[in-house]
Structures are given as structure tokens and as C-alpha cells.
């Protein structure tokens, strides 16, 4: 349990609309595979062969990650919250599986503050690594 709780409010703009996750704010505490600028861009996760069980596998991987709680899952979307161990900061991770199912769009953003010291980018890369290992 964190010593402090800087959780903030759960954003109301989460989810995919028209095939797009919300854009990152100007602050450097967000990454998205759909972002056009290099400061916020992170590669989408490859979904080797368009496996129908991608969301289920993502959920399995995320639930094994420290501080994670899966909040919402549907056939093509997953939202999880990650709470930092010491200060209780909460980041929102979203994964969206477009209709062709060959990639997984991803967005990870801090709720509060300006800098995340690279935590969201690191989280997405760890998710990618673990998902790829599960898909072998």
C-alpha cells in the first residue's frame, strides 16, 4: 500500500472513439502508438497473426505487473490503472485492438504532474516484451 495517495480522478475521455485513443497532452508524461510527435510516440504492439485472444493475453500479462489493476475489458479494448508503490500516483494504460487485429494500439498516461521520469514508456516496453514472450 502506498504511503501517499496521488491518484487523481479517473479520466472521462478514456476509450477508443472512431478507432482512436485520446491524444496525449502537451506534458511529457504520456506515450501513445497513435501520436504523431516523437516525444509522445511509442510503437504499437504487434499481434502476431491477428490472434483473437489478444485482449485476454494482455489482461494476463498486465495482471502480473506490479501495481496493476485491470478496470475494463471488452473484445477490443482494455483499460488498466497502475499505482506507484511509494507515492500512490496513478497512470492509465489503454490497449485497443483495431478491426484487422494485427496490431494493438497503446496509450499510457499519468493522471497528475508533468514528468513521469519515463515510467509510461518503460511500462509499455515491458508490456510489449512480456506479451511477445507469451505469444511465442
User: What pLDDT digit, counting tens, does each position of 3-25 carry?
Assistant: 555 566 777 789 999 999 999 99
Mean pLDDT over all residues of the chain? 89
In a domain, 52, yes or no: yes
In this predicted structure, what is the pLDDT of residue 4?
54
For 26-92, the DSSP string reads: SSSSEEETT-SSTTTB-PPEE-TTT-TTHHHHHHHHHHTSTTEEEEEE-SSEEEEEEE-TTT--EEE
In a domain, 40, yes or no: yes
In this predicted structure, what is the pLDDT of residue 50?
61
The domain that holds 63 is classified in CATH as: 3.30.310.80
Give residue 28's pLDDT band: very low, low, confident or very high (50, 70, 90).
very high
- The count of domains in the chain is 1
Mean pLDDT value of segment 94-121: 90
In this predicted structure, what is the pLDDT of residue 1?
54
What 3-state DSSP class applies to 130? helix
Per cent of the chain over pLDDT 90 is 68
In a domain, 65, yes or no: yes
In a domain, 25, yes or no: no
For 62-76, write each residue's pLDDT tens digit: 999 999 999 999 999
In this predicted structure, what is the pLDDT of residue 92?
97
Mean pLDDT value of segment 76-86: 91
For 95-107, write each residue's pLDDT tens digit: 999 988 889 999 9
In a domain, 98, yes or no: yes
In a domain, 20, yes or no: no
Query: Which are the contacts of 122, defined by CB distance < 8 A and separation ≥ 6?
Result: none
Q: Which domain holds residue 98?
A: 30-134
pTM: 0.89
Amino acid at each position: 500500500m502506498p504511503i501517499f495517495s496521488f491518484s487523481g480522478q479517473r479520466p472521462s475521455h478514456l476509450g477508443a472513439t472512431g478507432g482512436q485513443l485520446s491524444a496525449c497532452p502537451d506534458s511529457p508524461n504520456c506515450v501513445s502508438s497513435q501520436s504523431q510527435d516523437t516525444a509522445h510516440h511509442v510503437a504499437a504492439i504487434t499481434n502476431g497473426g491477428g490472434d483473437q485472444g489478444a485482449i485476454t493475453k494482455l489482461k494476463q500479462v498486465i495482471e502480473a505487473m506490479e501495481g496493476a489493476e485491470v478496470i475494463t475489458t471488452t473484445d477490443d479494448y482494455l483499460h488498466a490503472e497502475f499505482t506507484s508503490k511509494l507515492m500512490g500516483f496513478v497512470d492509465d494504460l489503454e490497449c485497443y485492438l483495431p478491426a484487422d487485429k494485427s496490431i494493438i494500439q497503446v496509450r499510457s498516461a499519468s493522471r497528475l504532474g508533468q514528468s513521469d521520469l519515463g515510467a509510461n514508456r518503460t511500462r509499455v516496453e515491458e508490456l510489449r516484451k512480456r506479451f511477445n514472450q507469451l505469444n511465442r
